[in-house]
Structure 1
Amino acid sequence: VYKKIKVLSGGEKSRVALAKTLISEANFLLLDEPTNHLDMQSVNILIQALEQYEGTFIVISHDRYFVENVATKIWYIEDFQLKEYPGTYHEYEQWQDERAKAAKQNGSSQPAAKPAPKPKPEEKPAPAINKTPSPDQKKALREIAEVEASIDKAEKELATYEKQLADPKIYQNAAQLKDATMKFEQVKKELARLTDRWEMLAEM
């Protein structure tokens, strides 16, 4: 509680910024991946805070459990256009499944042809820079690549557990719910650690 902001990790700074945002008097919030670095209990607290929020908020998130509990309108990109679905994320998924089944029955399951690419204007070649990375830079670049691969893997695992926790059926099985929640917390903690490490390497 008494730490200075400058000594906090990237994840802790994100939590402070989120807390400041929620207690502000703003009537419009734009939240980009707000559940990153949050454990399950903190996610539920954030959901409760947004349910009581009287203003308007837009959320960008890969956390399906979070989106399902806060979103009342879904914006999605289709055919290079931003479109709107007036409902919850669960209703949106059901609607998309029904559309896919109908398209398959009508024989229109083939994806639309991509538009022909526009010719690129002729670009002047950038001047060559003869700079060889130092051994430390090479080591940092290798580690960044490894951390990014680990982050990608952790995000996929997290999405799997989020989907499980978003399914109402799991709450009928206490053992299964406990196991999924524990694994969700472990992966989320590891993802936060990897993100902090990536941020530190990127600043080097």
Structure 2
Amino acid sequence: MRPYTRYEAEDVLKSMRSPNIRPPKLALRMKSTYRSGDLVLRAYDLNIGFPGKPLFALEKLTLTRGETAALIGGNGTGKTTLLKTLMGEHSQLSGEIVLGAGLKIGYFAQAHDGLNLENTVLDELMRHKPMGVGEARNFLAQYLFRADDVFKKVGMLSGGERGKLALAILALQGANFLLLDEPTNHLDIPAQEVLQEVLDQFEGTILLVSHDRYLIDRLATQIWALDDGELRVYKGAYKEYVEARDAEQLAQREQKLEAKAVAQPLPPAPAPINGAKAVPKPNKRQQEAIAKIEAQIHSVEGSLKELEILIERSSAAQKVSEVQTLGAEYASQQAALDDLLLQWAALAES
């Protein structure tokens, strides 16, 4: 057989199909063993914390089957403590917690502290649900533990691998009420996307603690916001919560500015010097307009700071499309701020 000419070789290479090589994908499944009652959780006049160290209080909340509540707030505000209180590991300081009928709770811990670090991956899975070695290995392969990976000690796994093992164990429980504490932490982007899809299709109820605004915006039907020792419930998605929160903050700023204007009246205008005209004192309507614009400026500045944080997190997570969307929103907010500053300057000088 004669060798190919250059042109023949090029034709052969062009006709060859490139190999379809894709990285392995997490095959997560999350199904409930049985259906819970319509009422999943109700609480009244609740105080959460420890003796001598209360963390927060709430008046009332209700969670029904099929809903997803996103619990948000700063570090140390009591989010994980609430989850452990619902599981019976801590007692509330006061108030009443009512759990619905037919609940099977599954818990995903942020620190994966339920895992035995001395066990192998295979032994740890079988510790939570006895099964044959072959069945366990096949199940772990869906979570990307293949071949000798199953014989690694849990203590030697990376944070992402521990997260996948914890998800595998959670999936075996058949829970219908998931308590998830930062479930996307340490997971790579493909695994995060799979988890989001699985939780979106989950037929049970979810109480989610997360700083992942994308995950919250996709899943949440109500927001439980922890701030300054109080838990407040907002019905609706995360975007609706942000709108309601910003409206509340704007109203509070306006009230404070109005109260300050009443408590501290403007000083009298100085007497004219050498026949010069006195500077006219701003009228009440002008003062109110200035106060309103100042409140709007503070609100937009707060939104810009939050967008900066979200852009930084999305950039670190390599969510390119999300960074682009947030960047466009940031530019829009910055333009609005510039316009408000011009309005403020014009009013102040008039």
Give TM-score scaled by structure 1 length: 0.52
2:190 to 34, 41, 66: 41
Pairs aligned (count): 129
More helix by share: 1
* The structure with more strand, counted as a fraction of residues: 2
Q: Which residue is 2:163 aligned to?
A: 14
Aligned position for 1:96:
245
Q: Counterpart of 1:58?
A: 207
| Contact kept in structure 2, 1:75 and 1:83, CA below 8 Å | yes
Runs of 4+ in 1 over 4 A off after TM superposition: 159-168
| Structure 1 residues without counterparts, runs of 5 or longer | 111-153, 173-204
Please tell me the residue identity of whatever aligns with 1:55. Answer: G
Residue in 2 that maps onto 1:157: 312
1:59 maps to amino acid = L
Q: After superposition, give the CA deviation of every residue in 1:112-148 in whole Å (9 maximum; x if it has no partner).
A: xxxxxxxxxxxxxxxxxxxxxxxxxxxxxxxxxxxxx
Give secondary structure in 2 for the equivalent of 1:69. Answer: helix
TM-score (norm 2): 0.32
Task: For 2:170, give the aligned amino acid.
Answer: T
Partner Cα separation in structure 2 for residue 86 and residue 167 of structure 1? 27
Unaligned runs of 5+ in 2: 1-145, 260-308, 329-350
Deviations along 1:171-194, whole A, 9 cap, x unmatched? 99xxxxxxxxxxxxxxxxxxxxxx
Q: How does 1:4-153 map to 2 (within 5 A)?
A: 4-6=151-153, 7-107=156-256
Structure of higher CA gyration radius: 2
Aligned residue for 1:22, secondary structure, equals helix
**Structure 2 equivalent of residue 130 of structure 1:** none
d(CA) in 2 for partners of 1:89, 1:167: 18
User: Identity of counterpart residues, as a percentage?
Assistant: 38
Whether the 8 Å contact between 2:180 and 2:208 is mirrored in structure 1 is yes
Q: Is the 8 A contact 2:181 2:209 kept in 1?
A: yes
CA distance in 1, matches of 2:241, 2:310: 22
